[in-house]
Structure 1
């Protein structure tokens, strides 16, 4: 079974939430006999194919962007060529250029779309994109939503309910770095024994401006890991608020990230818009057995973090409620520990990479079998 993933970005150019999902999919399904490859766009000069954790990564030049929509003329030919060698083409939505490439490359192989998120921000351009979007989603064989919450709240997915199934994202802790004692000691000495942690790309929908407002007037240490488009304005906001308890540590390597996930008291994930469809960093917190704070935005964040069980859920864009949640966990260590234990239990029950890989592998096989031609005189599809 050969699967081609088509995504806007991937390792080594970037490694955000969608890239982590693709990585876990490739590694996990690879253990079940699937041969994976990834086609992505890149700004780098040397675009020779490379192997990453057992799967091949093919990159084509990113020629230009329109409203965050990356475009590559070379992708048309690359997608057509690589799809000929694949049994299934796996698309990662949203990315309007991908829809165009699907039709330009004349893809006829079984196809699946992982629906990572609705398009939230570019509302005016979205009106122009609607016909293409629905033509694309109507043409693929299957759509996957990452949580029942998102399935229920997305008007787009509601139109394709008959061919949409739910497969939650999953992680494998064995793929994460094991921090050395010296590194743990370094961060413990730098930050202290208890702190709230945020990990992620610093984007407009992450709600970090709300977290900074919530931190005002408190002395709870808050560590922000990541870089991104809003980094400078967030630092300026922290300076205006006089926040001495907030530490921006930038983008870190996997050892340092794992060290902070190991050491942190709780995870704060204040994303306030539907662009945050699931929250892989929130899932990492659950995997490490940490209590979580998130906002109710009608997406998978509340599927990962169940209010009162694995953590606390507050209204979006409400710094007062977020400050109260920080205070509740900080002042009640026993409650925080109990929530962390339940978060890890829920992770093991629902969100392992093994379960995600098994469910996707079953879907791949189902799609191939569905499109396989019948043998003369046979009553069933040809076996794979």
Structure 2
């Protein structure tokens, strides 16, 4: 895969959870081969997981150029090789050294996180590669059924697909004195109902529509947690509502959980299918918060059930976000009921333990 903890993103969190879950169950027999941020190759062991981060010379169209990656990947052996797509270097390595790879690993599993959305001009190059990898796979794992129906690649391979929900460690979201004290701090700091977004400030997150929506939500405060190339552009938009939008580049895990608890509504305004799931929304739901998401074709709206766990609005539509935020702010009973349903849904359907167990079920099935 491309990166691993502490380089944090949705896929990185999932891979870390899986790797550490496997290590706990199989006496530290869990290995991750990833790409480092510089020329050096690093090896370490963390929480029972053996990690090799191979040196990277640069990138071409977001693809890491790591000449040593194939060597280190094929130095490993095991029952299962799991590739996390889209990550073309892993698939290229497997196909280029197919005979050797099949000798070193009994089965190939592809976890399909999303289609490639932005680099459409390169589709003639990467489409045959991804189709070949999917053809070779013994099983394909997706986080929701909508990952299959919304994909341009998985339709021909649906018989191989297995749904395994992403999960969160629910123990981290339980009520504690520390989290409640920090949540109280955030509420008092902003002194208005908090509307929360957390994530990278990149195009497909659609944060500009959320910032614009706040022009007509005068009685709440939007807190944006995250950093990215669009920070300056978003700050310029926020000038129109200077007293109710704040930017926080980073929060520790405990502080972020406190912020989830402090907020009234969590909003994920994504505008492209690059947002395949939205792990942050199940984190907010685990804290008993209603969520507002957009009507993407992906798993985002599988997780957030309109009218039950929150509201779903049209994408790229600031007015729709404004209306949904104001509707929930005006009805505390609705917020509370949706928040409880959301929390129950996460605790039942979206736990780390469930994700690891169901992934192992897939492994056992194809190995038997």
TM-score bracket, normalised by the shorter chain, equals: over 0.9
Match of 1:330 in 2: 329
Mapped pair 1:93 → 2:85: yes
> Partners of 2:50 and 2:173 in 1: how far apart?
20
Answering whether residue 11 of structure 2 is matched by residue 18 of structure 1, we say yes
Q: Provide the TM-score with structure 2 as the length reference.
A: 0.92
> In 2, are the aligned partners of 1:272 and 1:317 still within 8 Å (CA)?
yes
SS of alignment partner, residue 74 of structure 2: helix
Aligned partner of residue 297 in structure 1, secondary structure? coil
Deviation at 1:317, TM superposition (A): 0.7
Alignment correspondent of 2:161 = 164
Give the conservation status (yes or no) of the 8 Å contact 2:202–2:230. yes
- Contact 2:144/2:163 (<8 A) preserved: yes
User: Do 2:173 and 2:286's aligned partners in 1 also have CA atoms closer than 8 Å?
Assistant: no
Aligned-residue offset at 1:174: 2.6
Residue number in structure 2 paired with 1:348: 347
Q: How does 1:219-234 map to 2 (within 5 A)?
A: 219=218, 220-234=220-234
**2:214 counterpart residue number:** 215
- 1:166-205 aligned at under 5 Å gives the runs 166-174=163-171, 179=178, 183-192=182-191, 194-205=193-204
Whether the 8 Å CA contact 1:25–1:357 is kept in 2: the answer is yes
Q: CA offset at residue 185 of structure 1?
A: 4.2
- Rate the CA distance shift 1:102–1:296 in 2: closer, same or farther, 3 A: same
1:139 maps to which of 123, 128, 136: 136
Question: Which of 294-303 and 247-256 deviates more?
Answer: 247-256
Q: Is the alpha carbon distance of 1:46 and 1:261 closer, same or farther for their aligned partners in structure 2, counting shifts above 3 Å?
A: farther
Alignment correspondent of 2:360:
361
Structure 1's 47 and 193: CA in aligned 2 closer, same or farther, altered over 3 A?
farther
Match of 1:71 among 47, 65, 80: 65
Alignment of 1:219-368 (within 5 A): 219=218, 220-239=220-239, 241-368=240-367
Equivalent residue runs for 1:3-152 within 5 Å: 7-12=1-6, 14-33=7-26, 35-44=29-38, 47-82=41-76, 84=77, 86-106=78-98, 107-108=101-102, 109=105, 110-152=107-149
Q: Distance in 2 between matches of 1:356 and 1:333?
A: 33
Task: Encode CA deviations 1:310-348: one digit per residue, 9 max, x unaligned.
Answer: 000001111111110000111111100100000011112
Distance across 2 between alignment mates of 1:22 and 1:10? 7
RMSD: 1.9
Is residue 176–residue 254 contact of structure 1 (8 Å, CA) maintained in 2? Answer: no
The 8 Å contact of residues 224 and 249 in structure 1, kept in 2 or not, is answered as yes
Q: What SS class does the counterpart of residue 25 from structure 2 fall into?
A: coil
- CA contact under 8 A between 2:83 and 2:91: conserved in structure 1? no
Q: Matched residues in 2 for 1:99 and 1:235: separation?
A: 39
Structure 2: unaligned runs, 5 residues or longer: none
Aligned residue pairs, count: 359
**Aligned equivalents of 2:74 and 2:97: distance in 1?**
5
CA contact (8 A) 1:79 1:105 kept: no
Secondary structure of the corresponding residue to residue 267 of structure 1: strand
Residue 156 of structure 1: how far off its partner (Å): 1.1
**Residues 176-205 of structure 1, C-alpha deviation per residue, up to 9 Å, x if partnerless?**
696456534432332236201111111210
